[in-house]
Amino acid sequence: MKESKQIIINIKQLVGILKKGETKLCGEEMNNIYTIENAFLEITDNLISGFGKMEDFQINDQYSVFEAKGKVVFPSWNDSHTHLVFAGTREKEFIDRINGLSYEEIAARGGGILNSANLLEITSEDDLFLSSSRRLEEVMKMGTGAIEIKSGYGLSHDGELKMLRVIKRLQESYDIPIKSTFLGAHALPKKYKNNKDQYINLIVNEMLPNIKEEELADYIDVFCETNYFSVDDMQKVIEAGHKYGLKPKVHVNQFTSIGGIQKAIEWNAVSVDHLEVMSENDFESLSNSDTIATLLPSCSFFIDIPYAPARKLITKNIPFALASDYNPGSSPNGNMNLVNALAAIKMKISPQAAINASTINGAYAMELADKTGSITIGKWANINISSEINSYGFMPYSFGQNHIEKSMIKGTWIN
């Protein structure tokens, strides 16, 4: 078959260029973003095949040409932590929080994750697929070009498998790369209130073998937190996941620092996510590991908890990704543009650091950094084109508008 060539010309700023082989950025590197002004970008089939300054480009009639005068072109957002498959919403808890209850108090009353699990139980796989497809299409239009999605609202054998099968159907139905994470240990179902070990045994002995048999997951997750799952519980779950080839990507340090980071690193976790509460020892452990931190400012914003210490991570040379945590309880938002703005405004990091954390470092947090996350020859043509703006810094600054005009995933325009 004849190859298809596309060219984007007169790009005001081509942003996020990296050399082949660069898989993540840390420390001061995060504050630098390599950019070409007045650039072109060439795409052959689904891959980036060339780029450079306009003056070095020779037009050829084989190309389909896209004019990007006044526009910024940058790599798609890589959202490495979401719970995008869910049933129903939780506005009632939102009102309860406005009236003074905390996220943890709502959970202690049987709301929160257990509320979502009840809704999921009465929702069919087809309905779940339909609502999740809509959400996925929405975030793709907002510039997300690769995404991780977790289970964790099933909390029963059938419920967890239903969620993971929905994720598999999304993978089969869309071009966007999707990583699937099994989060059976998200909350303890009521039925097991006084018998946590029995629930963990269900995860280990019944859910995991079937998940493996149907090839439903890439990663294993645990909500390691006071009143949820302890470090010992997490050890049992990730050890079992390891036997089935699932690497850990875990929720730790959202409300308390209880040793989850150290345990996750011991098991070579791909990422440790949340980190709103960090001890000195936690920084120390992360700086000696290949595990990437993943920060979720949209969750901090929505449930009004501290923001993760992004600036300190930069000072300590610890790489981090930014992700949306899209879910009905703590972050009903999958818009990575807002995540970038919140990171800049509330975590006080530069727009450059926010973009790097949401592109190349997000790719690293999904083990996709050799395929996406930067403008690099040979990577998937996963890119966003802005409307006419002054520079990439305008995007987090003008935080209330959508500045993405067009998005491309693997060489195909999605809007």
Is there binding between residue 181 and ligand NIG (CB under 6 A)?
no
Of the candidates 23, 35, 116, 352, which one interacts with ligand NIG according to CB under 6 A?
Answer: 116
Residue closer to ligand NIG by CB (options 236, 251) is: 251
Residue closer to ligand NIG by CB (options 66, 77) is: 77
What Cα–Cα distance (Å) separates residue 151 from each residue in 78, 168, 239? 19, 11, 18
| Exposed/middle/buried for residue 358 (C-beta within 10 Å: 0-12, 13-18, 19+) | buried
Contact predicate 342/301, CB 8 Å: yes
Task: Please give the sequence-ordered ranges of beta strands (E in DSSP) within 45-100, or none if there are none.
Answer: 47-53, 63-67, 71-75, 77-79
The secondary structure of 200-232 as a DSSP string is HHHIIIIIHHHHHHTT--SEEEEEESTTSB-HH
Give the integer Cα–Cα distance in Å for 77 and 356: 9
Residue closer to ligand NIG by CB (options 228, 392) is: 228
Question: Pick from ligand NIG, Fe ion, none: which does 262 bind, CB < 5 to 8 A by kind?
Answer: none
In this chain, which residue has its C-beta nearest to ligand NIG? 329
Contact predicate 116/90, CB 8 Å: yes
Is there binding between residue 223 and ligand NIG (CB under 6 A)?
yes
Contact predicate 322/339, CB 8 Å: yes
Residue closer to ligand NIG by CB (options 333, 382) is: 333
Positions 246 through 275 that interact with ligand NIG (CB under 6 A): 251, 254
| Exposed/middle/buried for residue 332 (C-beta within 10 Å: 0-12, 13-18, 19+) | middle
Of 130, 197, 192, 124, residue with least CA distance to 156: 192
To Fe ion, the closest distance from the beta carbon of 165 in angstroms equals: 20
Question: Pick from ligand NIG, Fe ion, none: which does 330 bind, CB < 5 to 8 A by kind?
Answer: ligand NIG
Using DSSP's 3-state secondary structure scheme, residue 29 falls into: helix
| Stretch 306-325: interaction string toward ligand NIG, x if CB under 6 A | -------------------x
According to DSSP, the residues that pair with 306 across neighbouring strands are none
Is there binding between residue 113 and ligand NIG (CB under 6 A)?
yes
- How many chain residues are in contact with ligand NIG, going by CB under 6 A? 12
| Stretch 323-342: interaction string toward ligand NIG, x if CB under 6 A | --x-xxxx------------
Measured between alpha carbons, how far apart are the two ends of the chain, in Å?
A: 25
Residue closer to ligand NIG by CB (options 330, 340) is: 330
Residue closer to ligand NIG by CB (options 94, 394) is: 94
**Cα radius of gyration (the chain):** 21
Give the integer Cα–Cα distance in Å for 312 and 375: 28
Name the segment binding Fe ion (CB under 5 A); options: 46-54, 259-267, 321-329, 377-385: 321-329
Count helices and strands (H / E) in the chain: 16, 16
| Stretch 199-238: interaction string toward Fe ion, x if CB under 5 A | ----------------------------------------
Is there binding between residue 282 and Fe ion (CB under 5 A)?
no
What Cα–Cα distance (Å) separates residue 123 from each residue in 128, 186, 188, 308? 6, 19, 20, 34
Question: Pick from Fe ion, ligand NIG, none: which does 307 bind, CB < 5 to 8 A by kind?
Answer: none
Question: Tokens at residue 199, please?
Answer: 């629930």
To ligand NIG, the closest distance from the beta carbon of 5 in angstroms equals: 42
Q: Are strands 383-388 and 404-409 parallel, antiparallel or unpaired?
A: antiparallel
Using DSSP's 3-state secondary structure scheme, residue 39 falls into: strand
According to DSSP, the residues that pair with 409 across neighbouring strands are 412
Give the integer Cα–Cα distance in Å for 139 and 151: 18
Name the segment binding Fe ion (CB under 5 A); options: 4-12, 44-52, 240-248, 320-328: 320-328
Name the segment binding Fe ion (CB under 5 A); options: 61-69, 205-213, 280-288, 323-331: 323-331
Question: Pick from ligand NIG, Fe ion, none: which does 259 bind, CB < 5 to 8 A by kind?
Answer: none
Question: Pick from ligand NIG, Fe ion, none: which does 328 bind, CB < 5 to 8 A by kind?
Answer: ligand NIG
Give the integer Cα–Cα distance in Å for 415 and 401: 17
Of the candidates 39, 148, 325, 338, which one interacts with Fe ion according to CB under 5 A?
Answer: 325
Is there binding between residue 299 and ligand NIG (CB under 6 A)?
yes
Residue closer to ligand NIG by CB (options 255, 397) is: 255
To ligand NIG, the closest distance from the beta carbon of 373 in angstroms equals: 22
Give the integer Cα–Cα distance in Å for 316 and 286: 9
Name the segment binding ligand NIG (CB under 6 A); options: 58-66, 112-120, 260-268, 333-341: 112-120
Which residues of this protein are in contact with ligand NIG, per CB under 6 A? Answer: 112-113, 116, 223, 251, 254, 299, 325, 327-330
Which residues of this protein are in contact with Fe ion, per CB under 5 A? Answer: 325
